[in-house]
Amino acid sequence: MSSLRERLVERIRAHGPLTFAQYMEAALFDPESGFYTRGPGIGQGGHFATAAMAHPAFAAAIIAEAAATWEALGRPKQFRLTEAGPGTGGLARRVSEGLTSQGVPHELVLIELSTGLQARQRETLAGIEARWVEHPAELKPASGFLYANEVLDALPVRLLQWPDEVLVDADASGRLVETLQQAEPAIARLLSAQVEPRVGARYAVRPSMLPLVASLVGSVRRGRVALIDYGGVGTEVHDGRRPPVRTYIGGQQGGDPLQAPGTQDLTADVDFGALTDAAKAVGVEVEQLLTQPAWLRSHGWETPPADVRTEEDWALAGLLDERLPFMVWLARR
Ligand SMILES: C[S@@+](CC[C@H](N)C(=O)[O-])C[C@H]1O[C@@H](n2cnc3c(N)ncnc32)[C@H](O)[C@@H]1O
């Protein structure tokens, strides 16, 4: 069977260059060989680890937000707990068990695009009643709490080299190479609405964020939505200096994004300014935008004193480190 790179080269030869977003979509979610489709190693020794598994503080804060939402809705009998992009399923298990132990009745729903990861989540969640969908549009709106950690950063980005767009082409020897064409006004506007771009600098923008966010918040009839990811607002993300797309393999920074599609993770920081604009466009009120450490502190977590830290305390100190660019975005319906 031909490799994903070979299939992409054939596709380019037949239909012309791909946008970087089309390339990223294939590299992460190609039905046979996508990095996420194949169910990447997540956690220690895997391709990446996230805050969700670093320390129980993270799950505890999600449980507290979900329980507060249930209280604010008047303790309904029907309450939907939804996690988008649940990775291993470990966080969903902790949150669902935490809510049950606090007497919060709930239906657990997981939104997961990767078939490989769905299988892993089913194993992790064995014994807990849950259902899976691939896309939030499959859900009938219901009251509840929806959360997602490190999902938006995996949404495909279009790549700009201002004022041009970087496309993915194939050379005569079958290598994937970059080519430039003038950026379409609608794509250029996604950036220029947030920052003043510098000629020749590189930026990543996410046209798919608005429809996904609309669909995620649209699945919550009344309740709250928490989206957590790395990034910042406007120029904090689009500084035009760092490579806007990063690759990871085995927990380390990977290689050229066009090399070996399907074998390395591709990710780009989330512009929470653009996220707020996307939410406003669908009439959603943003309640809070704060750093992950500030959010965890608001739930009572403090950095343990350095001289008496256990291994778990060090993990907590890591989550509470303000230098890490993680943000928590909360919206109400
Ligand atoms: C970086 S992992 C984060 C996993 C987990 N939330 C955690 O914190 O450990 C991204 C997850 O989102 C899923 N994902 C990415 N894009 C998605 C989309 N558009 N819809 C649903 N799931 C998506 C991936 O398959 C994976 O489960």
Would you say residue 39 has pLDDT above 90? no
Ligand 1 close to Cβ of residue 92 (< 6 A): no
Nearest ligand 1 atom to the CA of 83 is 6
At 45, the pLDDT band (50, 70, 90 cuts) reads low
**Separation of CA 111 and ligand 1 centre (Å):** 9
Its pTM stands at 0.94
Would you say residue 309 has pLDDT above 90? no
Give the pLDDT confidence score for residue 75 in this predicted structure: 98
Ligand 1 close to Cβ of residue 230 (< 6 A): no
Ligand 1 close to Cβ of residue 108 (< 6 A): no
Q: Tens of pLDDT along 107-129? A: 999 999 988 899 999 999 999 99
Give the pLDDT confidence score for residue 1 in this predicted structure: 64
What's the whole-number average pLDDT of the chain? 93
Give the pLDDT confidence score for residue 66 in this predicted structure: 98
3-state secondary structure the chain: CCCHHHHHHHHHHHHCCEEHHHHHHHHHHCCCCCCCCCCCCECCCCCECCHHHHCHHHHHHHHHHHHHHHHHCCCCCCCEEEEECCCCCHHHHHHHHHHHHCCCCCEEEEECCCHHHHHHHHHHCCCCCEEEECCHHHCCCEEEEEEEECCHHHCCCEEEECCEEEEEEECCCCCEEEEEEECCHHHHHHHHCCCCCCCCCEEEECCCHHHHHHHHHHCEEEEEEEEEEEEECHHHCCCCCCCCCEEEECCEECCCCCCCCCCCEEECCEEHHHHHHHHHHCCCEEEEEEEHHHHHHHCCCCCCCHHHCCHHHHHHHHHCCCCCCEEEEEEEC
Would you say residue 44 has pLDDT above 90? no
What dihedral do alpha carbons 211, 214, 216, 220 form, nearest 10°? -160
Test site for ligand 1: of 24, 30, 36, most ligand atoms within 8 A of the Cβ: 36
Nearest ligand 1 atom to the CA of 155 is 16
Nearest ligand 1 atom to the CA of 85 is 12
Ligand 1 close to Cβ of residue 150 (< 6 A): yes
Domains identified in the chain and CATH numbers:
28-155+207-239+257-332 (3.40.50.12710)
Question: Which of 32-46, 77-91, 188-202, 284-298 shows the lowest per-residue confidence on average (mean pLDDT)?
Answer: 32-46
Q: Tens of pLDDT along 146-166? A: 999 999 999 999 999 999 999
**Separation of CA 46 and ligand 1 centre (Å):** 15
- The residues pairing with 86 across neighbouring beta strands, listed in sequence order, are none
Nearest ligand 1 atom to the CA of 134 is 21
Ligand 1 close to Cβ of residue 86 (< 6 A): yes
Q: Tens of pLDDT along 224-247? A: 999 999 999 999 999 888 899 999
Give the residue among 230, 228, 236, 235 at the shortest CA–CA distance from 288: 228
- Give the closest residue (by CA) to ligand 1 atom 13: 85
Q: Tens of pLDDT along 6-23? A: 999 999 999 999 999 999
CA 168 to the chain's CA centroid = 23
CA–CA gap between residue 305 and residue 321 (Å, rounded): 13
- The residues pairing with 160 across neighbouring beta strands, listed in sequence order, are 165, 203
CA–CA gap between residue 155 and residue 165 (Å, rounded): 18
CA–CA gap between residue 187 and residue 210 (Å, rounded): 13
Q: Tens of pLDDT along 315-330? A: 999 999 999 899 999 9
Ligand 1 close to Cβ of residue 83 (< 6 A): no
**Separation of CA 305 and ligand 1 centre (Å):** 34
Question: Which residues, in sequence order, are CB contacts of 253 under 8 Å at separation 6+?
Answer: 246, 247
Q: In this structure, what are the phi and psi dihedrals at residue 161, rounded to the nearest 5 degrees?
A: -125, 90
Give the pLDDT confidence score for residue 40 in this predicted structure: 64
